[in-house]
Amino acid sequence: GPPTAPRGAHGVTIRAAGPADEDMVTDLELRLIRYDMHFGGPVWRAGTASLVREEIRGSLARPATWTWLAEYGGHPVGLLVAQPPQDSGWIAGMTSTSPAAYLQTMFVDTRERGTGIGAALVRNLHARLDAAGVAVTLLHHSQVNPLSAPFWYRMGYRPLWTSWESRPATALR
């Protein structure tokens, strides 16, 4: 029969983002960057906000969006951004399975974590990728974020490679 809609999270609407959502998507992306900074990830620079907004504006202007918002009570509480296979060539060589998509961004408001919103966003993406015949989805996640590895494992992801770094590098000497 026809594919069934993926199971959502109670009271949460997942919808494709468009140009009118630029402010909401930018806010969630910047909150993700700030959150990831706790784990030694990104570095905030003077141009971070404007560069993120510029990238989002271009992404949301595309005819087929690969950006989804989760809303609860009319407020944005989650974001998922993916790259279709035609934009994922930079990482597709990490696996022999193809075509490959890349899950670029996944963020859920800190007050809403553990409610199923993240899983609903990922299930929504997987349903769309399955329908489009995408064979594998790749992502990077923070190994030191204690929520990250268990979540992605529950979503069916397994490590392809792991990298370690020491900060500062002199700590290795």
Query: Residue ranges per domain, the chain?
Result: 12-157
At 61, list the tokens. Answer: 């202007």
Which of these, 131, 18, 13, 134, lies nearest to 75 by C-alpha position?
A: 13
Other residues' Cβ atoms within 10 Å of the Cβ of residue 25: 25
| Domain 12-157 superfamily per CATH | Gcn5-related N-acetyltransferase (GNAT) (3.40.630.30)
User: Tens of pLDDT along 146-155?
Assistant: 788 888 889 9
Residues listed for the chain: 173
* 7 has a pLDDT exceeding 70: no
Confidence of residue 2 (pLDDT cuts 50, 70, 90): very low
Where do runs of H (alpha helix) occur along 37-77? 48-60
Instruction: Confirm whether pTM is higher than 0.75.
Output: yes
* 114 has a pLDDT exceeding 90: no
User: Tens of pLDDT along 53-111?
Assistant: 888 888 888 877 799 999 998 899 999 999 888 888 888 888 888 899 999 889 999 88
Distance (Å, whole) CA 80 – CA 97:
23
